[in-house]
Protein backbone atom coordinates (compact mmCIF):
# COMPACT_ATOMS: atom_id res chain seq x y z
CA UNK A 1 0.00 0.00 0.00
CA UNK A 2 1.22 3.50 -0.88
CA UNK A 3 1.92 5.99 1.89
CA UNK A 4 -0.02 9.26 1.80
CA UNK A 5 1.04 12.70 3.01
CA UNK A 6 -0.52 16.16 3.26
CA UNK A 7 1.51 18.70 1.29
CA UNK A 8 -0.87 21.64 1.02
CA UNK A 9 -3.88 23.15 2.79
CA UNK A 10 -6.52 25.64 1.67
CA UNK A 11 -8.69 26.82 4.56
CA UNK A 12 -11.49 29.28 3.76
CA UNK A 13 -12.98 30.02 7.16
CA UNK A 14 -14.67 32.69 9.28
CA UNK A 15 -11.38 33.29 11.14
CA UNK A 16 -8.96 33.26 8.23
CA UNK A 17 -8.47 32.50 4.55
CA UNK A 18 -5.27 30.72 3.59
CA UNK A 19 -2.87 28.61 5.64
CA UNK A 20 -0.99 31.40 7.41
CA UNK A 21 -4.03 33.50 8.33
CA UNK A 22 -5.92 30.48 9.60
CA UNK A 23 -2.99 29.29 11.71
CA UNK A 24 -2.41 32.71 13.27
CA UNK A 25 -6.12 33.03 14.05
CA UNK A 26 -6.13 29.69 15.87
CA UNK A 27 -3.13 30.69 17.94
CA UNK A 28 -4.93 33.92 18.93
CA UNK A 29 -8.17 32.09 19.75
CA UNK A 30 -9.84 34.47 17.31
CA UNK A 31 -13.60 34.82 17.13
CA UNK A 32 -15.33 34.29 13.77
CA UNK A 33 -18.95 34.59 14.88
CA UNK A 34 -20.96 37.74 14.19
CA UNK A 35 -24.42 39.05 13.41
CA UNK A 36 -25.46 37.73 10.00
CA UNK A 37 -24.76 40.07 7.08
CA UNK A 38 -25.35 37.72 4.12
CA UNK A 39 -29.12 38.21 4.39
CA UNK A 40 -31.69 39.97 6.58
CA UNK A 41 -32.15 37.62 9.54
CA UNK A 42 -34.24 40.01 11.62
CA UNK A 43 -37.31 37.75 11.50
CA UNK A 44 -35.42 34.66 12.70
CA UNK A 45 -34.88 33.52 16.28
CA UNK A 46 -31.16 33.06 15.45
CA UNK A 47 -29.30 35.98 13.89
CA UNK A 48 -25.64 34.96 14.27
CA UNK A 49 -23.32 32.79 12.20
CA UNK A 50 -19.75 32.28 11.06
CA UNK A 51 -19.36 34.10 7.74
CA UNK A 52 -16.34 34.08 5.42
CA UNK A 53 -14.83 37.37 4.28
CA UNK A 54 -13.32 36.64 0.89
CA UNK A 55 -13.26 38.48 -2.42
CA UNK A 56 -14.68 35.92 -4.85
CA UNK A 57 -13.81 38.20 -7.79
CA UNK A 58 -10.14 37.79 -6.96
CA UNK A 59 -10.39 34.08 -7.75
CA UNK A 60 -13.22 33.72 -10.27
CA UNK A 61 -14.41 35.66 -13.28
CA UNK A 62 -17.76 37.28 -12.62
CA UNK A 63 -19.53 35.44 -15.45
CA UNK A 64 -18.28 32.11 -14.08
CA UNK A 65 -19.16 33.02 -10.50
CA UNK A 66 -22.76 33.88 -11.44
CA UNK A 67 -23.24 30.33 -12.73
CA UNK A 68 -21.98 28.69 -9.53
CA UNK A 69 -23.40 28.44 -6.04
CA UNK A 70 -21.38 29.88 -3.17
CA UNK A 71 -20.44 26.42 -1.88
CA UNK A 72 -18.59 25.86 -5.18
CA UNK A 73 -17.00 29.33 -4.99
CA UNK A 74 -15.52 28.43 -1.61
CA UNK A 75 -14.28 25.03 -2.82
CA UNK A 76 -12.55 26.56 -5.84
CA UNK A 77 -10.89 29.21 -3.68
CA UNK A 78 -9.78 26.57 -1.17
CA UNK A 79 -8.37 24.43 -3.97
CA UNK A 80 -6.41 27.35 -5.43
CA UNK A 81 -4.97 28.07 -2.00
CA UNK A 82 -4.16 24.42 -1.29
CA UNK A 83 -2.30 23.89 -4.56
CA UNK A 84 -0.32 27.09 -4.10
CA UNK A 85 0.53 26.06 -0.53
CA UNK A 86 1.74 22.69 -1.84
CA UNK A 87 3.92 24.32 -4.48
CA UNK A 88 1.91 22.75 -7.30
CA UNK A 89 0.83 24.50 -10.48
CA UNK A 90 -2.35 23.66 -12.41
CA UNK A 91 -0.14 21.91 -14.97
CA UNK A 92 1.27 19.68 -12.23
CA UNK A 93 -2.15 18.20 -11.50
CA UNK A 94 -3.61 18.03 -15.00
CA UNK A 95 -4.15 14.45 -16.09
CA UNK A 96 -5.12 11.00 -14.89
CA UNK A 97 -2.67 10.94 -11.97
CA UNK A 98 -4.70 13.53 -10.02
CA UNK A 99 -8.27 13.54 -8.78
CA UNK A 100 -10.84 15.05 -6.44
CA UNK A 101 -12.74 13.96 -3.34
CA UNK A 102 -14.65 16.99 -2.12
CA UNK A 103 -17.99 16.82 -0.35
CA UNK A 104 -20.81 19.07 0.77
CA UNK A 105 -23.43 18.23 3.35
CA UNK A 106 -26.24 20.12 1.62
CA UNK A 107 -24.98 21.59 -1.66
CA UNK A 108 -26.46 24.66 -3.34
CA UNK A 109 -28.99 25.76 -0.76
CA UNK A 110 -28.87 29.43 -1.71
CA UNK A 111 -29.55 28.46 -5.33
CA UNK A 112 -32.49 26.31 -4.27
CA UNK A 113 -34.01 29.15 -2.24
CA UNK A 114 -33.69 31.80 -4.94
CA UNK A 115 -34.93 29.49 -7.70
CA UNK A 116 -37.90 28.33 -5.63
CA UNK A 117 -38.96 31.96 -5.50
CA UNK A 118 -38.80 32.19 -9.29
CA UNK A 119 -40.75 28.98 -9.71
CA UNK A 120 -43.63 30.12 -7.49
CA UNK A 121 -43.75 33.72 -8.68
CA UNK A 122 -43.07 33.32 -12.41
CA UNK A 123 -43.44 29.62 -13.22
CA UNK A 124 -41.11 26.64 -13.59
CA UNK A 125 -40.17 27.46 -17.18
CA UNK A 126 -38.66 30.77 -16.06
CA UNK A 127 -36.07 29.05 -13.89
CA UNK A 128 -32.40 29.35 -14.80
CA UNK A 129 -31.02 26.55 -16.99
CA UNK A 130 -28.11 26.49 -14.54
CA UNK A 131 -30.41 25.64 -11.60
CA UNK A 132 -29.67 21.91 -11.40
CA UNK A 133 -25.91 22.19 -12.09
CA UNK A 134 -25.69 24.91 -9.42
CA UNK A 135 -27.65 22.88 -6.89
CA UNK A 136 -26.20 19.38 -6.83
CA UNK A 137 -23.58 18.52 -4.24
CA UNK A 138 -21.07 16.86 -6.61
CA UNK A 139 -20.41 20.14 -8.40
CA UNK A 140 -17.62 21.11 -6.00
CA UNK A 141 -15.59 18.06 -7.01
CA UNK A 142 -16.70 18.46 -10.62
CA UNK A 143 -15.75 22.10 -11.02
CA UNK A 144 -12.42 21.67 -9.21
CA UNK A 145 -11.55 18.83 -11.60
CA UNK A 146 -12.55 20.94 -14.61
CA UNK A 147 -10.61 23.96 -13.38
CA UNK A 148 -7.31 22.05 -13.38
CA UNK A 149 -7.95 19.29 -15.92
CA UNK A 150 -7.80 16.57 -13.25
CA UNK A 151 -9.10 13.48 -15.04
CA UNK A 152 -8.26 10.90 -12.37
CA UNK A 153 -10.60 9.45 -9.71
CA UNK A 154 -13.40 11.78 -8.65
CA UNK A 155 -16.04 11.35 -5.98
CA UNK A 156 -18.32 13.28 -3.67
CA UNK A 157 -19.10 12.47 -0.04
CA UNK A 158 -22.42 13.63 1.46
CA UNK A 159 -22.56 12.62 5.11
CA UNK A 160 -23.74 15.86 6.73
CA UNK A 161 -21.25 17.04 9.35
CA UNK A 162 -18.90 14.08 8.76
CA UNK A 163 -18.55 14.93 5.06
CA UNK A 164 -15.12 16.57 5.07
CA UNK A 165 -13.46 13.81 7.07
CA UNK A 166 -15.13 11.14 4.95
CA UNK A 167 -13.83 12.80 1.78
CA UNK A 168 -10.28 12.81 3.18
CA UNK A 169 -10.57 9.12 4.01
CA UNK A 170 -11.78 8.32 0.49
CA UNK A 171 -8.91 10.27 -1.08
CA UNK A 172 -6.45 8.53 1.23
CA UNK A 173 -7.71 5.12 0.08
CA UNK A 174 -7.47 6.10 -3.60
CA UNK A 175 -3.79 7.00 -3.25
CA UNK A 176 -3.09 4.00 -1.00
CA UNK A 177 -4.37 1.71 -3.74
CA UNK A 178 -2.21 3.41 -6.36
CA UNK A 179 -5.16 4.77 -8.34
CA UNK A 180 -3.87 8.35 -8.18
CA UNK A 181 -0.81 10.23 -7.00
CA UNK A 182 -2.46 13.52 -5.97
CA UNK A 183 -5.94 14.19 -4.63
CA UNK A 184 -7.66 17.43 -3.67
CA UNK A 185 -9.90 16.47 -0.76
CA UNK A 186 -12.08 17.95 1.96
CA UNK A 187 -15.41 19.69 2.29
CA UNK A 188 -17.30 22.87 1.48
CA UNK A 189 -20.56 24.42 2.67
CA UNK A 190 -22.52 27.68 2.26
CA UNK A 191 -25.72 27.37 4.26
CA UNK A 192 -25.85 30.77 5.96
CA UNK A 193 -29.16 31.41 4.23
CA UNK A 194 -32.71 32.01 5.47
CA UNK A 195 -33.66 28.34 5.08
CA UNK A 196 -30.34 27.06 6.38
CA UNK A 197 -30.35 29.10 9.57
CA UNK A 198 -34.12 28.93 9.91
CA UNK A 199 -34.18 25.16 9.46
CA UNK A 200 -31.64 24.53 12.21
CA UNK A 201 -33.30 27.17 14.41
CA UNK A 202 -36.72 25.51 14.35
CA UNK A 203 -35.00 22.27 15.38
CA UNK A 204 -33.70 24.13 18.46
CA UNK A 205 -30.18 23.07 17.44
CA UNK A 206 -28.61 26.56 17.39
CA UNK A 207 -27.37 28.90 20.08
CA UNK A 208 -29.70 31.86 20.57
CA UNK A 209 -27.07 34.17 22.07
CA UNK A 210 -27.77 36.84 19.45
CA UNK A 211 -26.54 39.67 21.66
CA UNK A 212 -23.18 38.04 22.40
CA UNK A 213 -22.04 36.29 19.21
CA UNK A 214 -18.39 36.28 20.27
CA UNK A 215 -19.15 33.87 23.13
CA UNK A 216 -22.05 31.94 21.61
CA UNK A 217 -20.00 28.90 20.54
CA UNK A 218 -18.79 27.48 23.84
CA UNK A 219 -18.11 23.73 23.55
CA UNK A 220 -17.82 21.59 26.68
CA UNK A 221 -19.17 24.31 29.00
CA UNK A 222 -22.09 24.09 31.42
CA UNK A 223 -23.92 26.93 29.65
CA UNK A 224 -23.63 25.62 26.06
CA UNK A 225 -26.99 26.01 24.34
CA UNK A 226 -26.47 24.87 20.75
CA UNK A 227 -24.09 25.19 17.86
CA UNK A 228 -23.40 28.27 15.75
CA UNK A 229 -23.72 27.58 12.03
CA UNK A 230 -21.00 28.74 9.68
CA UNK A 231 -19.80 28.56 6.10
CA UNK A 232 -16.45 27.75 4.58
CA UNK A 233 -14.24 25.20 2.88
CA UNK A 234 -11.28 23.11 3.89
CA UNK A 235 -9.29 21.58 1.03
CA UNK A 236 -6.17 19.45 1.51
CA UNK A 237 -3.63 18.25 -1.03
CA UNK A 238 -3.03 14.55 -0.42
CA UNK A 239 -0.05 13.16 -2.24
CA UNK A 240 1.73 9.85 -2.61
CA UNK A 241 4.71 10.10 -0.27
CA UNK A 242 7.47 9.11 -2.66
CA UNK A 243 6.24 11.60 -5.24
CA UNK A 244 6.18 14.35 -2.62
CA UNK A 245 9.70 13.52 -1.46
CA UNK A 246 11.02 13.39 -5.02
CA UNK A 247 9.86 16.94 -5.71
CA UNK A 248 11.11 18.24 -2.36
CA UNK A 249 7.65 19.10 -1.06
CA UNK A 250 7.04 20.44 2.43
CA UNK A 251 5.06 17.76 4.29
CA UNK A 252 2.63 18.76 7.03
CA UNK A 253 1.79 15.25 8.14
CA UNK A 254 1.19 11.71 6.98
CA UNK A 255 -2.32 10.26 6.84
CA UNK A 256 -2.00 6.97 8.70
CA UNK A 257 -5.54 5.76 9.26
CA UNK A 258 -9.22 6.44 8.99
CA UNK A 259 -12.62 4.88 9.57
CA UNK A 260 -16.34 5.53 9.41
CA UNK A 261 -19.22 4.01 11.35
CA UNK A 262 -22.96 4.32 11.90
CA UNK A 263 -24.81 4.81 15.16
CA UNK A 264 -27.97 3.27 13.67
CA UNK A 265 -29.81 5.04 16.47
CA UNK A 266 -31.58 8.35 15.69
CA UNK A 267 -31.86 10.98 12.96
CA UNK A 268 -30.20 13.72 15.05
CA UNK A 269 -29.25 12.45 18.52
CA UNK A 270 -25.96 10.59 19.06
CA UNK A 271 -26.06 7.06 20.39
CA UNK A 272 -25.98 7.08 24.22
CA UNK A 273 -22.44 7.02 25.51
CA UNK A 274 -21.12 7.80 22.04
CA UNK A 275 -20.99 4.11 21.16
CA UNK A 276 -20.90 4.78 17.42
CA UNK A 277 -18.04 7.23 17.87
CA UNK A 278 -16.19 4.66 19.98
CA UNK A 279 -16.36 2.10 17.18
CA UNK A 280 -15.21 4.65 14.63
CA UNK A 281 -12.19 5.76 16.67
CA UNK A 282 -11.19 2.20 17.51
CA UNK A 283 -11.40 1.17 13.86
CA UNK A 284 -9.28 4.16 12.81
CA UNK A 285 -6.67 3.19 15.41
CA UNK A 286 -6.75 -0.38 14.13
CA UNK A 287 -6.35 0.86 10.57
CA UNK A 288 -3.24 2.78 11.65
CA UNK A 289 -1.95 -0.12 13.79
CA UNK A 290 -1.83 2.21 16.81
CA UNK A 291 -2.72 1.91 20.48
CA UNK A 292 -4.79 4.78 21.93
CA UNK A 293 -1.83 6.01 23.94
CA UNK A 294 0.02 6.95 20.74
CA UNK A 295 -2.42 9.81 20.07
CA UNK A 296 -1.19 13.14 21.44
CA UNK A 297 -4.04 15.47 20.41
CA UNK A 298 -7.72 15.20 19.47
CA UNK A 299 -9.52 17.79 17.36
CA UNK A 300 -13.01 17.10 18.64
CA UNK A 301 -16.35 17.48 16.91
CA UNK A 302 -17.17 19.75 19.87
CA UNK A 303 -20.34 21.38 18.58
CA UNK A 304 -21.41 23.23 21.77
CA UNK A 305 -24.64 21.23 22.00
CA UNK A 306 -25.62 19.50 25.25
CA UNK A 307 -25.89 16.04 23.68
CA UNK A 308 -22.81 15.99 21.46
CA UNK A 309 -20.32 17.33 23.97
CA UNK A 310 -21.39 14.91 26.70
CA UNK A 311 -21.50 11.83 24.50
CA UNK A 312 -18.25 12.74 22.76
CA UNK A 313 -16.52 13.07 26.12
CA UNK A 314 -17.92 9.69 27.17
CA UNK A 315 -16.66 8.20 23.90
CA UNK A 316 -13.12 9.44 24.51
CA UNK A 317 -13.18 7.94 28.00
CA UNK A 318 -14.44 4.64 26.61
CA UNK A 319 -11.49 4.49 24.20
CA UNK A 320 -8.73 5.86 26.42
CA UNK A 321 -9.91 4.92 29.92
CA UNK A 322 -9.42 7.28 32.89
CA UNK A 323 -9.63 11.01 32.17
CA UNK A 324 -5.90 11.33 32.84
CA UNK A 325 -5.20 8.98 29.92
CA UNK A 326 -7.20 11.01 27.38
CA UNK A 327 -4.90 13.31 25.36
CA UNK A 328 -5.57 17.05 25.13
CA UNK A 329 -8.80 17.80 23.28
CA UNK A 330 -9.98 21.02 21.64
CA UNK A 331 -12.83 22.25 19.49
CA UNK A 332 -11.94 24.76 16.79
CA UNK A 333 -15.69 25.21 16.29
CA UNK A 334 -15.45 27.50 19.32
CA UNK A 335 -13.75 29.94 16.91
CA UNK A 336 -15.20 29.16 13.48
CA UNK A 337 -18.65 27.92 14.34
CA UNK A 338 -19.91 24.65 12.88
CA UNK A 339 -19.09 24.56 9.17
CA UNK A 340 -21.28 21.49 8.57
CA UNK A 341 -20.00 19.61 5.51
CA UNK A 342 -16.82 21.71 5.52
CA UNK A 343 -16.06 21.01 9.19
CA UNK A 344 -13.98 17.88 8.64
CA UNK A 345 -11.83 19.51 5.99
CA UNK A 346 -11.15 22.63 8.07
CA UNK A 347 -10.56 20.62 11.23
CA UNK A 348 -8.29 18.21 9.39
CA UNK A 349 -6.25 21.26 8.37
CA UNK A 350 -6.18 22.48 11.98
CA UNK A 351 -4.92 19.06 13.07
CA UNK A 352 -2.05 18.83 10.58
CA UNK A 353 -1.10 22.44 11.31
CA UNK A 354 -0.96 21.57 15.02
CA UNK A 355 1.41 18.68 14.28
CA UNK A 356 3.59 20.81 12.00
CA UNK A 357 3.74 23.91 14.21
CA UNK A 358 3.99 22.27 17.62
CA UNK A 359 1.10 24.41 18.88
CA UNK A 360 -2.31 22.94 19.75
CA UNK A 361 -5.34 25.15 19.02
CA UNK A 362 -7.50 26.13 21.98
CA UNK A 363 -11.16 25.78 22.85
CA UNK A 364 -12.32 29.38 22.94
CA UNK A 365 -15.01 30.50 25.41
CA UNK A 366 -14.17 27.90 28.05
CA UNK A 367 -16.02 30.13 30.50
CA UNK A 368 -17.83 27.81 32.90
CA UNK A 369 -16.65 24.20 33.08
CA UNK A 370 -19.29 21.48 33.15
CA UNK A 371 -18.52 19.13 36.06
CA UNK A 372 -19.63 16.19 33.89
CA UNK A 373 -17.09 17.11 31.22
CA UNK A 374 -13.72 16.86 32.91
CA UNK A 375 -11.13 16.37 30.18
CA UNK A 376 -8.31 18.70 29.20
CA UNK A 377 -10.05 20.83 26.56
CA UNK A 378 -7.11 23.26 26.10
CA UNK A 379 -9.16 26.16 27.48
CA UNK A 380 -8.94 29.63 25.94
CA UNK A 381 -5.24 29.73 25.00
CA UNK A 382 -3.23 27.82 22.42
CA UNK A 383 -0.68 25.43 23.91
CA UNK A 384 2.89 24.91 22.76
CA UNK A 385 3.19 21.13 22.76
CA UNK A 386 4.84 18.96 20.13
CA UNK A 387 2.89 15.76 19.56
CA UNK A 388 3.44 13.04 16.98
CA UNK A 389 -0.10 11.84 16.25
CA UNK A 390 -3.33 13.81 15.93
CA UNK A 391 -6.91 12.57 15.58
CA UNK A 392 -9.71 14.53 13.89
CA UNK A 393 -13.28 13.30 14.45
CA UNK A 394 -16.70 14.31 13.15
CA UNK A 395 -20.16 13.01 13.95
CA UNK A 396 -23.24 13.73 11.84
CA UNK A 397 -27.01 13.75 11.75
CA UNK A 398 -28.14 10.32 10.66
CA UNK A 399 -25.58 8.79 13.01
CA UNK A 400 -22.69 8.85 10.54
CA UNK A 401 -19.21 9.13 12.05
CA UNK A 402 -15.71 9.64 10.65
CA UNK A 403 -12.24 9.66 12.20
CA UNK A 404 -8.89 10.47 10.58
CA UNK A 405 -5.41 9.95 12.06
CA UNK A 406 -2.41 12.05 11.08
CA UNK A 407 1.26 11.68 12.08
CA UNK A 408 4.18 14.07 11.97
CA UNK A 409 6.50 13.23 9.08
CA UNK A 410 8.90 10.37 9.78
CA UNK A 411 11.54 8.66 7.73
CATH no., domain 259-400: 3.40.47.10
Q: What is the pLDDT of residue 410?
A: 78
What are residue 381's phi and psi, to 5 degrees? -130, 140
What distance in Å separates the CA atoms of residue 194 and residue 147, rounded to the nearest whole number?
A: 30
What distance in Å separates the CA atoms of residue 185 and residue 236, rounded to the nearest whole number?
A: 5
Element (DSSP H or E) covering residue 405: strand 400-407
Q: Angle 353-358-361 (CA atoms, 0-180°, nearest 5)?
A: 60
pLDDT tens digits for 125-176? 999 999 999 999 999 999 999 999 999 999 999 999 999 999 999 999 999 9
Q: What is the pLDDT of residue 41?
A: 98
C-alpha atoms less than 13 angstroms from C-alpha of 241 in its C-beta half-sphere: 18
pTM: 0.97
- Burial (CB count <10 Å: 0-12, 13-18, 19+), residue 92: middle
What distance in Å separates the CA atoms of residue 171 and residue 189, rounded to the nearest whole number?
A: 19
Long-range contacts of 314-322 (CB under 8 A, 24+ apart): 314/273, 314/274, 315/273, 315/274, 315/275, 315/277, 315/278, 315/281, 316/274, 316/281, 316/375, 317/375, 318/273, 318/274, 318/275, 318/278, 319/278, 319/281, 319/282, 319/285, 319/292, 320/292, 320/293, 321/292
The separation between CA 340 and the C-alpha centre of its own chain, rounded to angstroms, equals 7
What distance in Å separates the CA atoms of residue 334 and residue 339, rounded to the nearest whole number?
A: 11
What distance in Å separates the CA atoms of residue 327 and residue 340, rounded to the nearest whole number?
A: 25
What distance in Å separates the CA atoms of residue 158 and residue 122, rounded to the nearest whole number?
A: 32
Choose the CATH number for 4-246 among 3.40.50.300, 3.60.15.10, 3.40.47.10, 3.20.20.70.
Answer: 3.40.47.10
Per-residue pLDDT of the chain in tens (411 residues, 90 and over written 9): 999 999 999 999 999 999 999 999 999 999 999 999 999 999 999 999 999 999 999 999 999 999 999 999 999 999 999 999 999 999 999 999 999 999 999 999 999 999 999 999 999 999 999 999 999 999 999 999 999 999 999 999 999 999 999 999 999 999 999 999 999 999 999 999 999 999 999 999 999 999 999 999 999 999 999 999 999 999 999 999 999 999 999 999 999 999 999 999 999 999 999 999 999 999 999 999 999 999 999 999 999 999 999 999 999 999 999 999 999 999 999 999 999 999 999 999 999 999 999 999 999 999 999 999 999 999 999 999 999 999 999 999 999 999 999 999 976
**7 three-class SS:** strand
* Domain residue extents for the chain: 4-246, 259-400
Element (DSSP H or E) covering residue 16: strand 16-17
> Phi/psi class of residue 320: alpha, beta or left (left: φ > 0; alpha: ψ in -120 to 50)?
alpha
Q: What is the pLDDT of residue 411?
A: 62
Residues annotated catalytic, as ranges: 161, 301, 338
- The answer to whether the 4-246 and 259-400 domains have the same CATH topology is yes
Amino acid sequence: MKRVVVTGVGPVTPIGVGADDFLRAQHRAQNGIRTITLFDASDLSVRIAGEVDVDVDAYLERKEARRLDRFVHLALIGSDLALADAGLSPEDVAGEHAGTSIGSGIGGLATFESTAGVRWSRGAMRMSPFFIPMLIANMASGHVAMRYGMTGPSNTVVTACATGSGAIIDAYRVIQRGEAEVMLSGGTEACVTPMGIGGFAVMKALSTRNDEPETASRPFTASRDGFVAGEGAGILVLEERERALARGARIYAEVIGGATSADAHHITAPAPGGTGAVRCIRWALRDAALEPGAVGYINAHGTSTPANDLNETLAFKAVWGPREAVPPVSSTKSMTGHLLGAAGGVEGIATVQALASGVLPPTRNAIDPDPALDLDYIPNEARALQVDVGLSVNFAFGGQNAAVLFRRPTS
